[in-house]
Amino acid sequence: MTSSDPLTRQRASGAPAANAAPAPADPGREAERLRYELAATLGAIEDKLNVPRRLRRGIRRMSRENPIALAAIGVVSAAAVGGAVWAAVAWLKNRG
């Protein structure tokens, strides 16, 4: 069975692949580099999944860039919570 695919022929001949990574000269240095990459990746994942930290950063950034909008969001949020509490109390009062 012959194949016209050059990669298949190369594998069959036992020759190393042209795009294969060379063996590291210093395995300790390679392990250190891989640990650093893994730590950076895990740090990025942690930043993405840590919602409270992301909210704090967003609020801090917004307070520097647009403090009026942040204040408006605070006022609207307080009014919404107050309105919800008022509606719940009124509903409970009228129910019984």
Q: Where are the domains of the chain?
A: 27-65, 68-96
pLDDT value at residue 11: 54
Q: What are the tens digits of pLDDT across the range 7-62?
A: 555 555 555 555 656 666 788 899 999 999 999 999 999 989 999 999 999 999 99
pLDDT value at residue 6: 56
Q: How far apart are CA 30 and CA 89, in angstroms?
A: 65
Mean pLDDT in residue range 58-72:
94
pTM, full prediction:
0.46
Helices marked H in the chain — which ranges?
Answer: 6-13, 27-49, 51-65, 67-95
The answer to whether 3 and 9 have CB atoms below 8 angstroms apart is yes
